[in-house]
Structures are given as structure tokens and as C-alpha cells.
A and B are shown apart, each in its own frame.
Chain A
Amino acid sequence: MPTDVPHVALTGVSKFFAGARALEGVDFACRRGTIHGVLGENGAGKSTLIKIMSGVLAPDAGEMRLDGRPVAFASPSEAARAGIVCIFQELSLIPDLSVADNISLSDPPKRFGLIDKRAERRRAEALLARIKCEDIDPRALVRQLSLSRRQMVEIAKAIGRDPSVLILDEATSALTSRDVETVYGLLAELKAQGVASIFISHRMHEVDALCDTLSVFRNGRHVETFAKGARSGREIVRLMIGRDVEAQFPPKPVRARPAPLLTVRGMLWGDRLNGVDIAVGRGEIVGLGGLDGQGQKDLLLALFGVLRGVEGEVTVGAAHGLPRSPAAAKSGRTRIALVPEDRKTEGLMLARPIADNLLAASYGEVSRGPFIDDGLARAAIEDALAKLRIKIGRPEDPVATLSGGNQQKVVIAKWLLVHPDVILLNDPTRGIDVGTKQEIYRLMRALADEGKAILFYSTDYAELIGCCDRVSVMYDGRILTELEGDGITEEAIVAASLNIETAA
């Protein structure tokens, strides 16, 4: 039921951080009963936009209107009271509180002035049922849930606040495909009820499937808003990055399967890995697919020496057995590198300078005797920045000042300085803009061509199809299917992920 007055309207909104433009002169509006996609590379200003809408940040200039009345929110709670609720990319859940507590966090049901735990639990049960997550125990601590379950709790929490504007910032990035379907259904339902949803995602096909209106941002400015279907995918990408793009994925070389550099046979770990067999050779990119939580991450961590009590036969180059720690993994004869799942807590020391982050794994290489050699260190940093085309101010600036895509490049560059032979990638493009994604795809292929063995876990099927020479699909801690060459299709991966052949 779109009306003439937009439900939310921003006019001339600007925001600067330490002089740098995050948003400038942005006009943006969304209407009730629509699902509005917001597209743009990292650093385009999408996050700033939604932070202003949801009261996390105050704009430096411009105004915001809700149903035509000017509003200014001093905090997220004020925005929520006005009906604007945001599901943030960084989860806003409290790990040590229960699911029920989290869902009714800031405005719990009360009895005699105190929080009514029982009512809270009933409320949680009802909201979880609405998003088909009856499997989540409202009494469990959020800490005990997997990332994808947490994200669903986050969604339950948001809809529990009865929003008139629901903002989803990469809210589906960690979800399983079943949950994504549920969320799509939910958004359709909310749309029918007149809720305005704002959907931010880097996954083009998601935006395409879901949204009826699209807005593109670039460099802190609003470029264009149009109805779905008015622009082709190619045109949209051009609007986003301001130039044409060639084929999304670099071409795959055709050649015989190389001899394996890394071989795993019958790897067991608790109830998470149930006999993994996999081999990766020099020059190969092997994809790990499957539904979330089938042991892919555990396999990567095991190979990097993080897990205790892993059994099975492993050969890395000439060495037998797993490295005993990441320190051993990176310094063996055949060196292993891991780009971890969460770059903000596992990949980077956010408050430390870019230079220190780049060198974090390779201080040994830039030292002469006990002392760090400034010349070697500077050369290594320049080399890394140039090779990955990382855009930075000064190397002394904290790495936190970089955009998400550039941060991920710093993580990768850190490992390239170690000259690894085996590179383990744990969903390296999650929450990263299209431009940087493509750079990473090209880099992966270039590294493979240099003779590195790459094991690449991704939640995005398109990436697996586009990048990998082979794809091993995991199911219940095992690799049940291995796809190769033209056999790597979306249908094949989906079927293998759901283990349809064996079920039939």
C-alpha cells in the first residue's frame, strides 16, 4: 500500500569522520509495504546510512522525516521506539544471556516491576516459532548457539519490537539456505502488513529475488533509485563501482590434476569431523561446499593446528601429521596459512597499525639477529600493499580505519608475506563489496598459478562454481561428493549439500 508521503525520508544528510566523507548530501526515501534494496561497495556509505536511520550516529547535516514529521534520534532505543529497528551486521546479542532474555532485552515483560522470566520465555517461543526456529531453546545461552542460529535469534528480536521500518544489514550472510527462505517469507509477510524493509546485501541474487526497489550508493553519495527490473545486473554493477566490469571470475586453466601437496585421510574430530578425505595439489583451488556447520570450518582449523585431539592420516608436503599449532603450521617446510572466519576478531588486531598487522605473521623474516630490520620491514609492507592494491592512508594508521574489503586484503597480505604453500580460506569474501571480491578471485587464481595449493570454503555457491577447480561438498563431517570441471553446477552442489542422492 505505497502512499505518496514516504514513510522515512532523508534529505541532504551528510556525515564525516575525522574529515573523511562517509555520506554527503544524501536524499533517500522508502515507503511502507516495500522491500528496498540498498547496494554499494564497502565504504559506499550504506552502513553510515543505516546507522543514522537507526539512531546509532547523528548526522552532521540534513534532516530525517518519519511520515513527514522531522525526527532526530539520540540513541538506538529512541529509533526503536519510533519503529525503526535494525538487524546489524555485527550481532547485537549478549552471549551470556539466554535466548529469551535477548529477544526481550531492552523492554522485557514485567510483573511487580521486575522482569517476568516466564512471560519472557513464552514470548520468545512465539517469536521463534514465527521464524520456524522451534529448535532453539529459549533458555539456552546465546553463547551456545552457532552463528547462523544467533542470526535467527537476532531476527526474532527485531520483529519482536514491531518495527514499521526493518533494516537488515547483511543479515542473511551467515544463514543456512533454509533459514534464508524463511526470512524471505517473513519479509513478504511484513511487506503485506505495510512494513518498510531495507535490505542490504552483497549477494546480488538475494537482492534481485527479494527487493522491489533498489538504491545504489557510491563513495558516500546516493547514485540512483529505481524499480526492480529497470536496470540489468551489469548496469547495476556499473553504477556501484563506477566502471564496467569484465567477467566476474577469472578463467580456469585446463590441465591435468596435479599431484597432491596436502592429503587428508579419515580425519576424525569429536562429532564434527567424521572421516574426511581430501587432497589438494599445487596450482589447484579446491572448494569446500555444503550447508553451514557441516564441519568445513573445523577441517580448516584442524589443518592449521588449532584443534586438539584430531585423528587421521595427514600429509603436508614431505611431512606427516598435522602441525601442532598455527606457529608450527606457518613455519614448517611446507607452510600453511589460514585466512580465518571473522576478520575483526581472528584476522586482525583492529587497534594496531596497518603495518604491524601486515607483519604480524612474519616478524621473523624481517629480523636480522634479534632485531627487526627497518629496511626489510618497510620493503615487505610496501610490497604487500602494492601486490594487493590496498588503499591506505599511512601504514601507522590503525587497521580499523580501513573498509571491510581492504581489511580482508590486509589479512591475506599478512599471510602472503610468509610465502605459504598451502592457503586455507574460510569464507574470505563474506560481507565484502563486489569490486574487492573480484580482486580476491583473481588473486586466488594467480596464487594457484604460482604453485600454491588453495582450500577455499565459501557459503556462496556462485563463488565455488566460478573459482574452483574441484568442489568437495561436506555433509555431517564428511565429504560425500566431489565435483569437478563442468560437473560443478548449482544443482549438483545443492543436491550434494542436502545429501539427496543417499537419502533417495
Chain B
Amino acid sequence: MSAVSALVARPENRPIAIALGFVVAILIVGTLYTLVMQGTAPLLSPRYLLQQLQTGAFLGIVAAGMMMVILLAHIDLSVPWTLAAAAMMATSVGGDLAIPTGIAVGVAVGLVNGFGVAVLRIPSMIFTLGVDSVMRGLMVAHTGGFAPRTEATPLMRWLASGKLLGVPMAIFVWIGVSMVVATLLARTAFGKAIYATGSREGAAYLSGIRTRLVIAGAFVASGVSAAIAGMLLAGYSTKAYQGMGNPFLLPAIAAVVLGGTRILGGSGRYAGTVVGVILIVLLNSVLSIMQMPEAGRQIIYGVVIIGMLLVYGRNDKITS
């Protein structure tokens, strides 16, 4: 217990602990509901949970990249159409080159974003918004505005919906991405440079950190994450489709923030982002079990985010 309380005592871990508590609360409330209404407890069955985590993997991978950008006090609004573009290009190229093509799309978008934000110093909020629009335009032009007819390659499908030891492959991909991001952030000079740059860019620059490369690197990471998520999603639904990335943007940002990453950059742990993703995924599945109408879902969604952040403790009064 003392180890637990020591972990909670560190300010960065407090939100993670609270979010974990909330995950447990969702499971309990959801199970009570199903027990009373249906006499079953699907939320506690490993199969159901794995299935939820499989869908959560797409969000989790997007959030992993988004977190690197948010740590720099930036944001990547180009995620929706980077995701869709990677999926569409991967399926239309097909074959062995499908996945490298998708990754290349992610890298390219990340480099463009990085150039605009780090070199031209245009606020990321606006630059990535423009890039998202350009990507959407390119894809609409590419597909003629229809659902692409090309199909995901077998490898993409296997990575998304195949199973290994009874566990969906998508979860392994998520775990892989998570390990890379967590190691990068905690154990490399690049990760430390992200925290430093996000905390105070001028001081990081004067410490001899190549802040432009750091920013560009984070955007590339975000682009690649979105691309991986896009290809997995295409594999999962066997095809890419218009607007497939749209439902991921805001939940990804919410997951990162609910995981305790400071939206103004400079602090946050990757474990928190994972917990944030699980929280959002479980909340969604409990709400669908309860057959909550869209209006109620939206309201609950908003109230939960506000409520959790209120519980996390409040920002310092003066930010000088």
C-alpha cells in the first residue's frame, strides 16, 4: 500500500490514479446495471473486454502520437485526414507496399506540420487545421468523393482483426506503439527535449536543444501514429472510407488530457494516456449497453470530462 500511496503522492501520477479509479467505477456501475436489467455481467467477461480494447486500440494509437504533440504545447488537428489518407493510399497501392505507403503518408504530413509549426512558427492550431483541409481535399479528389473500392491487404486485416493466443492483434500493435512512445519519452534525450521544449521553448533553445527538430519529430510521430491507426481501421473494416478519422480527433485529445498531460505542455506521463483511452472506451461501451441516445451520450461525455478535471485539482491561480 505504501508503494501505491508514494506513487499517488507524485503530482504527475495523481490524475492517473483518479482516472484508474474512475475506470473501476465505470465497470462497477455498468455491471450493476446489466445485472439488474439483463441479469448478466458482460463487462466483466474477458472476451468482451478484449473486444472493447481492440476498438480502443485505434484511439490509443492516435492518442499516443497526439500526446507527444500536446507535450510541446501544440496540437495536431490534421489527425482525421492523415488517418484517412494513410488508409486510402495504403489500400489503393496494396500489396507489400501498402503499409510502407501508409507510413510514408504519416511521415510526410508530419514533416509538413513540423515545417509550418517549427520553422514558419505558425500556431499549430491553425496550421494543422489547414493541412487537414488539404489532406481532405486531396483524398476527395483522389477518390472522387466516393467510398474507395480498393480493399485492405491481408496483412492489414490480420494486424487489425487477427488473433494471437486469443488476443486481438490490434492490441499487440497498440502495446508495441505504446512501448516505443513510453521509452522515447522517459528514456531518451529526444523525450527529455520534448518536455523541456514544451515547458519553455526559449530556455530549451538556449540550452542547445534543437527545438525545431524536436517539434518536427513530435509531429512526425503524431502523423505516423495516425497513419498506423488508419491502416488498422481499414484492415478492421476491410476498406478505407470517407471521414473515417473524424471520430478520433476530440476523443484522442480528451484521452491525453484525462490522462494528466498538461494541455499547455511540459508535463504528463504516457501511462496516463493509456488509462485515459481505456476510460473513454469503457465509458462509450457502458453507454451503448445502456442504449443511451446520442443527446444523453454527448452530455454525459462533456460532464465526465469537466467533472474529472475538477477532481484532478485546479490550475495555479497566477500564471506569470
Residues of A within 8 A of B (CB): 90, 304, 306, 325-327, 329-331, 338, 340, 345-352, 356, 359-361, 363-364, 367, 370-372, 396, 414, 418
Q: Is the beta-carbon distance between A367 and B196 smaller than 8 angstroms?
A: no
Q: Is the beta-carbon distance between B267 and A351 smaller than 8 angstroms?
A: yes
A347-B206 contact given A367-B189, A372-B187, CB 8 Å threshold: yes
Which one, A340, A364, A418, contacts B206 given CB within 8 A? A340
Query: Across the interface, which residues of A come within 8 angstroms of B199, CB to CB?
Result: 349-352
Q: Closest 4 A-B residue pairs measured CB to CB?
A: A363-B189, A349-B199, A330-B208, A360-B207
Query: Across the interface, which residues of A come within 8 angstroms of B188, CB to CB?
Result: 367, 370-372
Residue pairs across A and B with Cβ atoms less than 8 A apart, 5 shown, are A352-B267, A360-B207, A361-B209, A371-B187, A372-B188
B178-220 Cβ-contact flags toward A at 8 Å (1 or 0):
0000010001110011011001101111111110000000000
Q: Is the beta-carbon distance between B208 and A345 smaller than 8 angstroms?
A: no
Q: Is the beta-carbon distance between A364 and B189 smaller than 8 angstroms?
A: yes
Q: Is the beta-carbon distance between A363 and B192 smaller than 8 angstroms?
A: yes
Query: Across the interface, which residues of B come within 8 angstroms of A349, CB to CB?
Result: 195-196, 199-200, 203-204, 266
A346-B208 contact given A363-B189, A367-B189, CB 8 Å threshold: no
By beta carbon, the residue of chain B nearest A341 is: B206
Q: Is the beta-carbon distance between A325 and B267 smaller than 8 angstroms?
A: no
Which one, A90, A363, A414, contacts B193 given CB within 8 A? A363
- Cβ of B38 within 8 Å of any chain A Cβ, yes or no, is no
CB-CB contacts below 8 Å: B148-204 with A: 183, 187-189, 192-193, 195-196, 199-200, 202-204
Q: What distance in Å separates the Cβ of A21 from its nearest Cβ neighbour in chain B? A: 21
Q: Is the beta-carbon distance between A326 and B206 smaller than 8 angstroms?
A: yes
Bound Cα distance from A340 to B202, whole angstroms:
11
Query: Across the interface, which residues of A come within 8 angstroms of B183, CB to CB?
Result: 371
Which one, B10, B206, B210, B267, contacts A338 given CB within 8 A? B206
By beta carbon, the residue of chain A nearest B264 is: A351
- Cβ of B320 within 8 Å of any chain A Cβ, yes or no, is yes
Query: Across the interface, which residues of A come within 8 angstroms of B207, CB to CB?
Result: 326, 360-361, 414
Bound Cα distance from A340 to B208, whole angstroms:
12
Query: Across the interface, which residues of A come within 8 angstroms of B200, CB to CB?
Result: 345, 348-351
Q: What distance in Å separates the Cβ of B14 from its nearest Cβ neighbour in chain A? A: 15
Bound Cα distance from A300 to B238, whole angstroms:
60
A326-B195 contact given A90-B320, A345-B203, A349-B266, CB 8 Å threshold: no
Query: Across the interface, which residues of A come within 8 angstroms of B206, CB to CB?
Result: 304, 306, 326, 338, 340, 346-347
Query: Across the interface, which residues of A come within 8 angstroms of B203, CB to CB?
Result: 345-349, 360
Bound Cα distance from A418 to B266, whole angstroms:
23
Q: Is the beta-carbon distance between B208 and A359 smaller than 8 angstroms?
A: no
